[in-house]
Amino acid sequence: MPATPNRRRAAAVLTAALLVPLAACGNGGEDTKAAGSASPSAAASAETGPAQLTVLAASSLTDVFKTAGAAYEKTHPGTKVTFSFAGSQELAAQVKQGAPADALVTADTKTMDGLGAETGEAKVIARNRLVIATGKGNPFKIAGLKDLADTKVKVVLAAPEVPVGRYSKEILDKQGVTVKPVSQEPNVRAVLSKVELGEADAGLVYKTDSAKSGDKVVAVDIPDDQNAVASYPAATLKQSKNPEAAAAFVAWLGTQEAQKILQDAGFQQV
């Protein structure tokens, strides 16, 4: 009987001795597993490379967004931004058809509002106004909207479903001016091109677009009380494969850096 306690103590010591290395192996296994799980993640991140963003943007943003995109990539070296420019109504159609893109910027709130199911919350990042673009030297001496009613003047406008076309109709109707355009174009750049090439004598375009034409056209200002304000909302697309990077770019458009680039190009402060 005296040996029994000794045997029990010996058995307990032996059991403890066996459990210590097992426990150590268990902890070591967990550490190894954790380290192993981190490596594939890091490797996967390295393999994916920079975030690739595709931004659908209104034609009137063509020049300024090229500058903005370069500035953004400089301060965000992990992101590559590619733009696709077209009339806002064309961009809306692309979004509804599921075009692979991450963010959208239109030249009016109406088009953006119609895409509520496909976009995140929209925020206006710029504003613009219209001017009358006339041929070089303004040969018809156009001074205001009423002069566009002269049947001798070949006027080109954007189609009414295009934001700039809708704004044009709005301001012409407000002044009671009837214009029979020689053509209706799919975006503002096409309108401007017609005037630059001499295929039209005048057209209604955004102030920022006419400024890029240099001496190819003469821009005739339209008084504020006769004009329309174009608002440019930006939003992420729900179909984006890079939602965080897309959200970061859209947010950046409202920063002081981006706003300066837009204002330097002639866009109005929001």
Q: Is residue 45 part of a domain?
A: no
What is the count of structural domains for the chain? 2
CA–CA dist 55, 252 (Å, integer): 13
Number of other residues whose CB lies within 10 A of the CB of residue 265: 18
Helices (H), the chain: 3-48, 62-75, 88-96, 109-113, 163-174, 188-196, 207-211, 243-252, 256-264
Q: Are 132 and 162 part of one and the same domain? A: yes
Shared domain for 255 and 188, answered yes or no, is no
The answer to whether residue 260 is domain-embedded is yes
Q: Give the residue carrying structure tokens 């692309």.
A: 94
Q: Does residue 40 fall inside a structural domain?
A: no
148 found inside a domain: yes
Question: Do 122 and 238 have their domain in common?
Answer: yes
| pLDDT score recorded for residue 269 | 86
Domain limits for position 86: 50-127+232-264
pLDDT computed for residue 160 by the predictor: 94
25 in any annotated domain: no
SS3 192: helix
41 domain-assigned: no
Enter the tokens of residue 64. 């300024």
Q: Are residues 198 and 160 in the same domain?
A: yes
Helix, strand or coil, per DSSP, at residue 78? coil
Q: Name the nearest CA neighbour of 109 among 90, 133, 130, 125.
A: 125
* pLDDT per residue rounded down to tens, the chain (270 residues): 444 444 444 444 444 443 434 334 344 443 333 333 333 333 333 445 679 999 999 999 999 999 999 999 999 999 999 999 999 999 999 999 999 999 999 999 999 999 999 999 999 999 999 999 999 999 999 999 999 999 999 999 999 999 999 999 999 999 999 999 999 999 999 999 999 999 999 999 999 999 988 889 999 999 999 999 999 999 999 999 999 999 999 999 999 999 999 999 999 988
- Residue 48 is predicted with a pLDDT of 52
| Whole-model pTM over 0.85 | no
- Would you state the structure tokens that stand for residue 137, as one six-digit string? 């030297």
pLDDT at 161: 93
Residues 179 and 141 in one domain: yes
Q: What confidence score (pLDDT) does residue 16 get? A: 43
One domain, residues 210 and 239: no
Residue 123, φ and ψ in degrees, nearest 5? -140, 130
> Could you tell me if residue 62 is inside a domain?
yes
Domain assignment of residue 33, yes or no: no
Is there a single domain that holds both residue 115 and residue 196? no
Residues 108 and 118 in one domain: yes
Contact 92, 114 (CB under 8 A): yes
- Please check whether residues 197 and 256 belong to one and the same domain: no
Q: What is the pLDDT of residue 245?
A: 96
If you count DSSP H runs as helices and E runs as strands, how many of each does the chain have, helices first?
9, 9
Q: Are residues 193 and 259 in the same domain?
A: no
State whether 250 and 192 are in the same domain.
no
In this structure, the answer to whether residues 133 and 167 fall within a common structural domain is yes
Residue type, 258: A
The domain spanning residue 192 has which CATH number? Answer: 3.40.190.10
